[in-house]
């Protein structure tokens, strides 16, 4: 009993401490941030604009810092509205615009040339570069049928383009196409955002017959902002609903949005899909924007982290601390780019662009640097002008540190064993004091699929077996709630 009490006391003491390591190396100070004994980010002294006001490592430790990315206007085009940007690598990228234009760079965004300029009635809202030569664009013909969207391909870097591939929305509704993404040469999706659906292909998408329409939101609720499409087949989309797919967009689950108005854009951290952010905003009074955060895969979303001067249209995070939010109001010639270095709790106004910013893309340049591009447009009294901004940052994701002083974080919830699994898996957890505890398993959009514990538990180490029964294979999350503990982990059912 004395041994158990000692273990409980040690675990609780460790659990109460911050998970921060401060390291001095070659005379420089860096902050290394950890989650569940794994480093999630490193912020070196050379990080652009980073100032550390206080670093204390104890039970009352805190980090106060501000960070600013240095953005440069690299390209603008009068009479165009830049809607999307995609880079095939660090040098070759493409911009899609309204009024049928596509621009290309071969030097990382410093210089651009026109590779398409159809003018009215074409509007391109999406672009994705599979390679420097193979690029797909999506949008609509404003003189066509309202339920039609258009796709075009180039296989030679924009020198020539295919004829229109016209995708006709089943039934009534607006068929215009927006964001497009390909996971590989064969598998891709393009979003019919206005009617809450997408088109899916598994054989290349080079003709009409290779596309299948998929309804995402049964109530046809529209989709807004950037999507998050990952190499493993996870896709997230927001708007009237928060929706997710685990099979490259073929099937979807649609739940309520994080905000009671609507969401605008979404981004999850690819390595575990627990940490995620979504934006949003409104152009009616009071004009404003916001960002919400989840730390459990979207099972629960926190409140609005901050209210911005204008709507947020896209979010992008590089780890659990460092991220960007962009947006604006095109017709009021207002907008800009915000950055955060504390997971979204506070935001810095990096730059006022006087333009509504719509889309972001990024590429790793070297082992310790990354380029980021952001596009948008003005549209007020001065007329439409597309704008592209660029910044280069130190990549905050690095390897495990070689030395330093680490304050550990004791976990109350263990990783299931084995993982992945097929028939049964064991979950170990600690109840620190007598009292209520719940251990539940959720699907990716927050639906409870199994309750393992829900009631009063005595203190001590516990173990339960999870048998999935008829549940389909895929990714699930399990969450322990007891006292002040609220921990979530991922499990994979094969």
pLDDT tens digits for range 93-110:
999 999 999 999 999 999
Among 79-83, 125-129, 346-350, 367-371, which stretch is predicted with the lowest mean pLDDT? 367-371
Read off the pLDDT of residues 120-140 as tens digits, 9 standing for 90 and up: 999 999 999 999 999 999 999
> How far apart (Å, rounded) are the C-alpha atoms in residues 211 and 345?
41
Tell me which residue of 437, 225, 230 sits closest to 313, measured CA to CA: 225
Tell me which residue of 169, 176, 252 sits closest to 208, measured CA to CA: 169
The pLDDT value recorded for residue 373 is 98
Question: Mean per-residue pLDDT for 327-343?
Answer: 93
Say yes or no to pLDDT of 186 above 90: yes
Read off the pLDDT of residues 136-184 as tens digits, 9 standing for 90 and up: 999 999 999 999 999 999 999 999 999 999 999 998 899 999 999 999 9
Say yes or no to pLDDT of 6 above 80: no
Buried b (16+ CB within 10 A) or exposed e, 75-101: bbbeebbbbbbbbbebbbbbbbbbbbb
Whether 224 contacts 215, CB under 8 Å: no
Query: Which residue is associated with the tokens 């001067």?
Result: 309
User: Could you tell me the domains of the chain?
Assistant: 2-64+401-406 (no CATH), 72-394 (2.130.10.10), 425-493 (2.60.40.3080)
303: confidence class by pLDDT, cuts 50, 70, 90: very high
Read off the pLDDT of residues 233-244 as tens digits, 9 standing for 90 and up: 999 999 999 999
User: Residue 395 contacts by C-beta under 8 Å, 6 or more apart in sequence?
Assistant: 318, 364, 367, 368, 369, 370
Whether 182 contacts 227, CB under 8 Å: no
pTM, 2 dp: 0.77
Mean of per-residue pLDDT scores for the chain = 83
Whether 180 contacts 138, CB under 8 Å: yes
The pLDDT value recorded for residue 356 is 97
Say yes or no to pLDDT of 413 above 90: no
The pLDDT value recorded for residue 223 is 97
């Amino acid at each position: 009993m004395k041994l158990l009490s000692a273990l409980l006391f040690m675990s609780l003491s460790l659990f109460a401490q911050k998970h921060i390591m401060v390291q001095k190396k070659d005379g420089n100070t860096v902050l290394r941030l950890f989650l569940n004994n794994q480093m999630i980010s490193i912020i070196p002294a050379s990080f652009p604009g980073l100032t550390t006001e206080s670093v204390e490592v104890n039970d009352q430790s805190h980090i106060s810092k501000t960070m600013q990315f240095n953005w440069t206007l690299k390209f603008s085009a009068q009479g165009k509205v830049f809607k999307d940007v995609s880079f095939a690598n660090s040098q070759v990228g493409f911009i899609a615009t309204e009024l049928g234009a596509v621009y290309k760079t071969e030097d990382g965004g410093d210089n651009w040339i026109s590779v398409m300029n159809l003018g009215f009635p074409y509007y391109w809202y999406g672009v994705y570069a599979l390679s420097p030569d193979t690029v797909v664009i999506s949008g609509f013909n404003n003189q066509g049928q309202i339920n039609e969207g258009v796709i075009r391909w180039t296989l030679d870097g924009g020198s020539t383009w295919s004829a229109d591939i016209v995708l006709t929305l089943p039934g009534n509704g607006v068929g215009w196409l927006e964001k497009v993404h390909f996971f590989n040469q064969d598998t891709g999706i393009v979003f019919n955002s206005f009617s809450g659906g997408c088109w899916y292909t598994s054989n290349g998408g080079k003709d009409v017959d290779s596309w299948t329409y998929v309804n995402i939101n049964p109530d046809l609720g529209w989709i807004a902002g950037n999507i998050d499409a990952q190499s493993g087949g996870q896709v997230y989309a927001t708007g009237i609903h928060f929706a997710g797919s685990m099979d490259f967009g073929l099937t979807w689950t649609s739940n309520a949005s994080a905000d009671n108005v609507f969401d605008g854009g979404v981004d999850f951290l690819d390595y575990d899909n627990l940490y995620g952010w979504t934006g949003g905003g409104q152009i009616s009074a009071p004009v404003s924007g916001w960002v919400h955060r989840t730390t459990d895969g979207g099972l629960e979303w926190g409140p609005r982290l901050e209210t911005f001067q204008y709507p947020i249209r896209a979010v992008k995070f590089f780890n659990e601390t460092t991220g960007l939010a962009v947006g604006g109001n095109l017709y009021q010639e207002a907008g800009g780019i915000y950055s955060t270095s504390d997971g979204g709790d506070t935001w810095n106004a990096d730059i006022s662009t006087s333009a509504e910013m719509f889309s972001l893309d990024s590429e790793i340049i070297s082992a310790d640097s990354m380029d980021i591009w952001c596009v948008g447009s003005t549209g007020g009294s001065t007329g439409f002008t597309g704008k592209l901004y660029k910044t280069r940052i130190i990549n905050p994701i690095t390897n495990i540190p070689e030395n330093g002083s680490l304050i550990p974080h004791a976990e109350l919830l263990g990783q299931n064993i084995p993982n992945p699994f097929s028939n049964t898996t064991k979950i170990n957890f600690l109840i620190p004091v007598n009292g209520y505890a719940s251990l539940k398993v959720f699907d990716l959009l927050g639906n409870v699929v199994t309750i393992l514990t829900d009631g009063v538990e005595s203190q001590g180490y516990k173990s339960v077996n999870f048998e999935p029964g008829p549940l389909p294979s895929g990714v699930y999350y399990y969450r322990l709630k007891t006292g002040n503990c609220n921990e979530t982990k991922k499990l994979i059912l094969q």
